[in-house]
Chains A and B, each alone.
Chain A
Amino acid sequence: MAVFDRSAAPPLMTLKLTAGSFHKLSALLTLAVLILVFSFGNAAFFSVNNGLTVLLQTSVIGLLGIGMTLVIITGGIDLSVGSVLALSGTITGLSIKAGVPVAPAMMLGVLTGAACGAFNGFVITKMRITPFVATLGMMLIARGIALQLTGAAPISRLGETFGILGNGSLFRIVEDTGGIFPKVVFPGIPYPAILLVVVALLAAYLLNRRQTGRHIYATGSNEEAARLSGVLVDRTKIFAYTLSGALAGLAGNVLMSRLVTVQPNEGVMYELDAIAAAVIGGASLMGGVGNISGTMIGAFIIGVLRNGLNMAGVSAFIQQIVIGFIVILAVYVDQIRNRR
């Protein structure tokens, strides 16, 4: 996890407790406290099985959160990821129905997401529309297309292969007991969790070790300075939005694959979870600050909270209220940090 342990100010982190690492530490502590509290409340919470469930549930927010982090570091925001997720899944589903094999169909879905993101980037940089408005527009456009294409009806009977990405797992060990249900020795590591880890590592590598990553930070830190230093600011932004769109497409495929059904209504308000994950993890909506490890912690805080409240029998309505407060709290923390 070496690439993970870097904060907003690359390179060569000192051992000093910077504002960034302090924020990350407090987020990590929050996560630990949540896990502890839920484990006391329900013994089943702290089990391998439930751990893997949380991992699975967090993968979608996590993937969206990674793209959101890149965009937020450039000083922008992407409100369209929830809708793009639905549109990408829809394109994959329709392609499969049209006879395209599953893997290329999923690729098409991800490309659709990337195209939506590129469009966002284009509108923001070339038409000079603020990210909030541009991606709000895309949020409506992508959702509208998904609903129009499907007549708002789910697409089912997509075949078993379509379900592998969301439901399969690596190193699954089952023991044949001769009965109807074989005994599951180890449930395996879900593919979505593996995907999340791989994408997170790649994104952290991009941000910390590559020129593009450095330019993403510079653009969000001081756009004019970056431009004067020869950074291709527009290209950097378009890149970030395109990646965010592509990851929304990937998340859409994971989610719909898990349901083995394409739901054009899926992903409503997911953008807010993604923003919350990034902000809880220390990303600043002012730009220039944020990192992948923080966002992962943020995504897990939301995932654990949802899962734990579910197991405790708290209604979905109350869950919304709790998460709403957490979002406000996270942004408040962000502001306090900026005021210092």
Chain B
Amino acid sequence: MTPHTPSETPLVQMIDIEKHFGGIRAVNGVSLDLYPGEVVGVLGHNGAGKSCLMRILSGAMLPNEGSIRVNGETAEIHNPHDARDLGIETIYQTLALADHLNAPSNLFLGRELKTRLGNLDDHKMMSETVRILKRLNPNFKNLTDPVSSLSGGQRQVIAIARAIYFDVKILIMDEPTAALGPSETAMVGKLIKQLRSEGIGILLVSHDMHDVFELCDRVIVMNKGQNVGSHPIEDVTKDDVLSLIIKGELPHDWVPRSQEKPQ
């Protein structure tokens, strides 16, 4: 019941990606596919290499080895600019906000709206920010304050808004709900479902099993820098996934749940 047919070209193919820091093999030969309209959960223990893999796709980090294809074509992603040009938007685990700037300035950072004379169009940026934030959090205020004075959740909402405002085709979400309250988390869940119905491919890094099983079509588990399993969500249970995360392998008696005969 995967949303893609095998003949379809993947939106993203990451092939044999390696990233080393001195002796540390943060990402050790990982391959990953993402199809249009698919939500893939990327799981793994702390330090498994999830963020590194995501940062490589978003151009924030250069891999030592490996290649990336977008829509079947080899993509040269040397910096975040390149990734954005390919429609890859990222919500970084660190959020990547400029503390002294306010919400609209952050939302449009690097892609500022301008008037005909080339001046910054702060009024337009403000009204657009109000519009998009209303969708995510109707109670959002403090739009003129520097974002350093906002709560962790509010900052996260700005980072999310920034990723979906522009023409996104591939969305990377590195623990997007870590600082959010229940209603904001529910809002993000709704947003993910909507984006997926629009054909956008989403990589969702999360430690929250409930969210993963609620939102993802497929899970990829990383263990010590390696991809130890990629499974449609209906083939695995939470225990199966936990086993992959902790031991790096499935339980010995595992059979794909979708092929299991009801007793």
Asked whether A227 lies within 8 Å of B80 as measured between CB atoms, the reply is yes
Give 29 CB contacts A-B under 8 Å: A11-B125, A11-B126, A11-B144, A12-B122, A12-B126, A13-B144, A209-B119, A210-B119, A213-B120, A214-B105, A214-B112, A217-B98, A217-B100, A217-B101, A221-B99, A222-B98, A225-B96, A225-B97, A226-B98, A227-B80, A229-B98, A229-B109, A229-B111, A230-B81, A230-B84, A230-B111, A231-B109, A231-B110, A289-B100
The closest CB in chain A to the CB of B117 belongs to A209
Asked whether A226 lies within 8 Å of B109 as measured between CB atoms, the reply is yes
Pick the contact of B80 from A11, A213, A228 — CB < 8 Å?
Answer: A228
B158 smallest CB distance to A (angstroms) = 11
- A213 to B119, alpha carbons, bound, how many Å? 10
- Interchain Cβ contacts within 8 Å, total number: 103
A211 at interface by CB-CB < 8 Å: yes
Interface centre among B58, B96, B114, B125 (most CB of A within 10 A): B96
Proximity string of chain B (45-86) to chain A, C-beta cutoff 8 Å, 1 when within and 0 when not:
000000000000010100000000000000000011100100
- A11 to B144, alpha carbons, bound, how many Å? 7
- A209 to B162, alpha carbons, bound, how many Å? 21
Q: A227-B80, A229-B109 are in contact. Are A221 and B96 (CB under 8 A)?
A: no
Interface size of A by Cβ–Cβ distance < 8 Å? Answer: 29
Interface positions of B (Cβ within 8 A of A): 58, 60, 79-81, 84, 90, 92, 94-102, 104-106, 109-112, 114, 118-120, 122-123, 125-126, 144-146, 162
A218 at interface by CB-CB < 8 Å: yes
Within 8 A of B (CB), among A221-251: 221-222, 224-231
Asked whether B98 lies within 8 Å of A211 as measured between CB atoms, the reply is no
A114 smallest CB distance to B (angstroms) = 22
B172 smallest CB distance to A (angstroms) = 12
Q: A211-B120, A224-B96 are in contact. Are A9 and B110 (CB under 8 A)?
A: no
Asked whether A10 lies within 8 Å of B122 as measured between CB atoms, the reply is yes
Q: Which chain B residues lie closer than 8 Å to A303 at the CB level?
A: none
Asked whether B96 lies within 8 Å of A11 as measured between CB atoms, the reply is no
